[in-house]
Copies of this chain bind each other. A is one copy, B any other.
Amino acid sequence: MARPLSDDKRTAILEAAAEVVAALGVSAPTAKIAKAAGVAEGTVFTYFATKDELLNQLYLAIKTELSDAVMAGYPAGGGVDRRCRHIWDRYIGWGSRHPLKRKAARQLAVSDRITGRSREVVAEAFRGFNALMRECVEGRALEGLTPEFASSLLGAVAETTIEFIAREPKRAGPYSEAGFQAFWKGVTG
């Protein structure tokens, strides 16, 4: 092979895309992404056939990174509360450390350019949560409180928490604690 596709370059394009999409939304010009990545405009298309593919790959990359971050060091043998807390802390931590990626993911999630397939793949990556959520909601006699619903609630409450932390970083601890309690009491009763 003459010059193999460079993983570094691919990553640089995705990182640049995250920044630019965070700032300008999914309508961010590919030219700006290329510039931010330090490559030629055309190079974007040797790594991603179309802009839509780039956006979908970006979505997957961010969500996968989040999933990995959240699951690292997961205390599989611990109690439900400990395991939920682990997830929570990691989620809040990753989100606080990567505000642009979080913003980009949000822009992507609401856009219609992310395919059903991509959303499925991401859902699959978070499938592991459902078992944990099942344990959480087990005692509650609430028909609507399915594990999937609980899982989405965790995400929604966490996102809200991260946003407040972003606005007032000094109160990160209290907000994180309040968010977790809101989720925990809300779901486990």
| Contacts A152-B160, A181-B186; A112 near B145 (Cβ below 8 A) | no
User: Which residues of B lie under 8 Å from residue A184 when comparing CB positions?
Assistant: 186
- Report the Cα distance A140→B157, complex, angstroms: 18
| Contacts A27-B27, A186-B185, A186-B186; A143 near B178 (Cβ below 8 A) | yes
Binary CB contact string for chain A from 136 to 178 against chain B (1 if under 8 A, 0 otherwise): 0000101111001100110111011001100000010111111
Q: Is A131 an interface residue (CB 8 A)?
A: no
Q: Is A130 an interface residue (CB 8 A)?
A: no
Q: Is A179 an interface residue (CB 8 A)?
A: yes
Among listed A51-59, A65-73, A93-101, A103-111, interface-contacting one: A103-111
Binary CB contact string for chain A from 14 to 26 against chain B (1 if under 8 A, 0 otherwise): 0000000001111
| Chain A residues touching B, range | 35 or more
**Interface of chain A: mostly helix, strand, loop or mixed:** helix
Name the one of B112, B155, B179 contacting A24, with C-beta atoms under 8 angstroms: B112
Q: Is A33 an interface residue (CB 8 A)?
A: no
Contact A189 B178 (CB under 8 A): no
- A selection of 21 A-B contacts at a CB cut-off of 8 Å is A2-B40, A2-B42, A23-B112, A25-B111, A26-B27, A140-B181, A142-B177, A142-B181, A143-B177, A143-B178, A144-B164, A144-B177, A149-B160, A149-B175, A152-B163, A152-B164, A153-B160, A156-B159, A157-B186, A184-B186, A185-B186
